[in-house]
A and B are shown apart, each in its own frame.
Chain A
Amino acid sequence: MTSDIAAILAIDGIATGAVYALVAIGTVLIFTVTRVIFIPFGDIAAFTALTLAALDAKRFPGTGALVVVLACLASLIEIISLLRAGEPRLLPRALLFYLVLPLAVVGAAWLVMRMDPPLAVRLVLALMLITPISPLLDRIVFRPIADGTVLLLLTVSVALHFALVGLGLLFFGPEGVRTEPLTSFSTEFAGVLISGQTMLIVIAALVFSGLLYLFFDFSLVGKSLRATAVNRTGSRLMGIRPARAGTIAYLLGSLMAGVSGILIAPVNTVFYDSGFLIGLKAFVGAIVGGMTSYPGAAIGAVGVGILESFASFESSALKDVIVFSLLIPILIWRSLASLHSEEEIEE
Chain B
Amino acid sequence: MTRFHVQLAAVAVVVCLALAPFVLSPFSITLMNYIGIYSLVAIGLALLTGVGGIVSFGQAAFVGIAAYATAWVSALNGQSPWLGLLLGVVLTCSVAAVLGVVTLRLQGHFLSLSTVAWGLAIGFLFGNVEGLGRFNGISSIPPISLGSFALVSSAQIYFLIWGIVAVVLFLGYNLLDSRLGRAMRALRGGNTLVESLGINAFQIKLVTFVIAAFLASLSGWLYAHMSRFISPGPFDAGMGIEYLMMTMVGGAGSLLGGVVGAAIVTLLKNSVQDYLPLIAKGASGQLEIVAFSALFILFLQWARQGIVPFVARYLPKTKRERPQPAPPLPRRPQPTPGELLLKVDGAERRFGGLVAVNNVSFEVRSGEILAVIGPNGAGKSTMFNCLTGALRVNKGEIVFAGRPITRDPQSRIARAGVARTFQHVKLRPRMNLLENVMLGTYGRTSTGLFAGAFRLNLREEASARHEALMQLERVGLGDKPFELAGNLPLGNQRILEIARALAADPALLVLDEPAAGLRRQEKLRLAELLRSLRADHLTILIVEHDMEFVMSLVDRIVVLDFGSKLCEGVPSAIRNDERVQEAYLGGVA
Residues of A within 8 A of B (CB): 37, 141, 144-145, 148, 150-152, 154-156, 158-160, 162-163, 165-167, 169-170, 280, 283-284, 287, 317-318, 320-321, 324-325, 327-328, 331-332, 334-335, 340, 342-345, 347
Which chain B residue has the least Cβ–Cβ distance from A31? B109
Task: Say yes or no: A160-B297 contact (C-beta < 8 A), given A170-B290, A325-B117.
Answer: yes
Bound Cα distance from A167 to B57, whole angstroms = 22
- Contact status B297-A334, CB under 8 Å: no
Which chain A residue has the least Cβ–Cβ distance from B102? A328
Bound Cα distance from A334 to B192, whole angstroms = 21
B298-351 CB contacts (< 8 Å) to partner A = 300-301, 304
- Contact status B116-A167, CB under 8 Å: no
Number of CB contacts from chain A to chain B under 8 A: 134
Q: A156-B301, A324-B120 known; 5 other A-B pairs, CB under 8 Å?
A: A324-B124, A328-B103, A331-B110, A331-B113, A331-B114
Bound Cα distance from A145 to B297, whole angstroms = 10
Whether a CB of chain A sits under 8 angstroms from the CB of B244 is yes
- Contact status B118-A325, CB under 8 Å: yes
- Contact status A152-B300, CB under 8 Å: yes
- Contact status B192-A342, CB under 8 Å: yes
Bound Cα distance from A162 to B189, whole angstroms = 29
Pairs A-B, 6 closest by C-beta atoms:
A163-B293, A166-B290, A327-B117, A166-B289, A324-B121, A317-B128
Whether a CB of chain A sits under 8 angstroms from the CB of B579 is no
- Contact status A162-B288, CB under 8 Å: no
Chain A proximity mask over B84-128: 1 for CB below 8 Å, otherwise 0:
000000000000000000110111111011101110110011001
Given the complex, which residues of B lie within 8 Å of A320, measured CB to CB?
120-121, 124
Task: Say yes or no: A345-B118 contact (C-beta < 8 A), given A151-B109, A162-B238.
Answer: no
| Nearest CB of B to A323, in Å | 8
Bound Cα distance from A149 to B354, whole angstroms = 32
Given the complex, which residues of B lie within 8 Å of A280, measured CB to CB?
116, 120
| Nearest CB of A to B303, in Å | 12
- Contact status A328-B118, CB under 8 Å: yes
- Contact status B286-A343, CB under 8 Å: no
Given the complex, which residues of B lie within 8 Å of A325, measured CB to CB?
117-118, 121
Given the complex, which residues of A lie within 8 Å of B248, measured CB to CB?
155
| Nearest CB of A to B471, in Å | 23
| Nearest CB of A to B163, in Å | 32
- Contact status A331-B103, CB under 8 Å: yes
- Contact status B300-A156, CB under 8 Å: yes
Whether a CB of chain A sits under 8 angstroms from the CB of B570 is no
- Contact status B106-A335, CB under 8 Å: yes
Q: Which of B112, B294, B297 contacts A151 (CB 8 A)?
A: B112
B interface, over-half SS: helix
- Contact status A321-B55, CB under 8 Å: no
| Nearest CB of B to A125, in Å | 25
Given the complex, which residues of B lie within 8 Å of A287, measured CB to CB?
110, 113
| Nearest CB of A to B296, in Å | 5
Given the complex, which residues of B lie within 8 Å of A148, measured CB to CB?
304
Given the complex, which residues of A lie within 8 Å of B53, measured CB to CB?
345
Given the complex, which residues of A lie within 8 Å of B107, measured CB to CB?
335, 340, 342-343
Which chain A residue has the least Cβ–Cβ distance from B296? A159
Given the complex, which residues of B lie within 8 Å of A158, measured CB to CB?
57, 116, 241
Which chain B residue has the least Cβ–Cβ distance from A318? B128
Whether a CB of chain A sits under 8 angstroms from the CB of B283 is yes
Residues of B within 8 A of A (CB): 53, 55, 57, 102-103, 105-110, 112-114, 116-118, 120-121, 124-125, 128, 188-192, 238, 241, 244-245, 248, 283, 285-290, 292-294, 296-297, 300-301, 304, 428-430, 486
Which chain A residue has the least Cβ–Cβ distance from B190? A342
A interface, over-half SS: helix
- Contact status A321-B124, CB under 8 Å: yes
Selected A-B contacts with CB under 8 Å, 28 pairs? A37-B109, A141-B301, A150-B109, A151-B112, A152-B300, A155-B300, A156-B301, A158-B241, A159-B297, A159-B300, A165-B289, A169-B286, A317-B128, A325-B118, A327-B113, A327-B114, A327-B117, A328-B102, A331-B110, A332-B103, A332-B106, A334-B110, A340-B108, A342-B191, A344-B189, A345-B190, A347-B429, A347-B430
Given the complex, which residues of B lie within 8 Å of A345, measured CB to CB?
53, 108, 188-190
Which chain A residue has the least Cβ–Cβ distance from B486? A347
Given the complex, which residues of A lie within 8 Å of B113, measured CB to CB?
37, 154, 283, 287, 327, 331
| Nearest CB of A to B430, in Å | 6
Bound Cα distance from A37 to B109, whole angstroms = 10
Q: Which of A154, A166, A324 contacts B288 (CB 8 A)?
A: A166
Given the complex, which residues of B lie within 8 Å of A328, measured CB to CB?
102-103, 114, 117-118
Bound Cα distance from A159 to B294, whole angstroms = 8
Bound Cα distance from A347 to B429, whole angstroms = 7
- Contact status A166-B428, CB under 8 Å: no
Bound Cα distance from A320 to B588, whole angstroms = 71
Given the complex, which residues of A lie within 8 Å of B238, measured CB to CB?
162
| Nearest CB of A to B56, in Å | 11
- Counting chain B CB atoms within 10 Å of each CB, the highest count among A145, A334, A347 belongs to A347
Which chain A residue has the least Cβ–Cβ distance from B52? A345
Bound Cα distance from A169 to B430, whole angstroms = 44
Task: Say yes or no: A160-B118 contact (C-beta < 8 A), given A150-B108, A151-B55, A334-B110.
Answer: no
Bound Cα distance from A154 to B113, whole angstroms = 9
Bound Cα distance from A24 to B189, whole angstroms = 30
Given the complex, which residues of A lie within 8 Å of B191, measured CB to CB?
342
Which chain B residue has the least Cβ–Cβ distance from A158? B241
Bound Cα distance from A324 to B293, whole angstroms = 24
Bound Cα distance from A141 to B294, whole angstroms = 9
- Contact status A145-B300, CB under 8 Å: yes
Given the complex, which residues of B lie within 8 Å of A344, measured CB to CB?
189-190
Given the complex, which residues of B lie within 8 Å of A144, measured CB to CB?
301
Which chain A residue has the least Cβ–Cβ distance from B120? A324
Q: Which of B189, B241, B286, B300 contacts A166 (CB 8 A)?
A: B286
Given the complex, which residues of A lie within 8 Å of B108, measured CB to CB?
150-151, 340, 343, 345
Bound Cα distance from A101 to B71, whole angstroms = 56
- Contact status B245-A159, CB under 8 Å: yes
Q: Which of B192, B283, B297, B428 contacts A141 (CB 8 A)?
A: B297
Given the complex, which residues of A lie within 8 Å of B430, measured CB to CB?
347
Given the complex, which residues of A lie within 8 Å of B300, measured CB to CB?
145, 152, 155-156, 159
- Contact status A159-B241, CB under 8 Å: yes
| Nearest CB of B to A287, in Å | 7
- Counting chain B CB atoms within 10 Å of each CB, the highest count among A145, A280, A335 belongs to A335
Bound Cα distance from A328 to B104, whole angstroms = 11
Which chain A residue has the least Cβ–Cβ distance from B244? A155
Bound Cα distance from A328 to B124, whole angstroms = 16
Given the complex, which residues of A lie within 8 Å of B118, measured CB to CB?
324-325, 328
Q: Which of B102, B124, B244, B301 contacts A318 (CB 8 A)?
A: B124
Bound Cα distance from A334 to B113, whole angstroms = 12
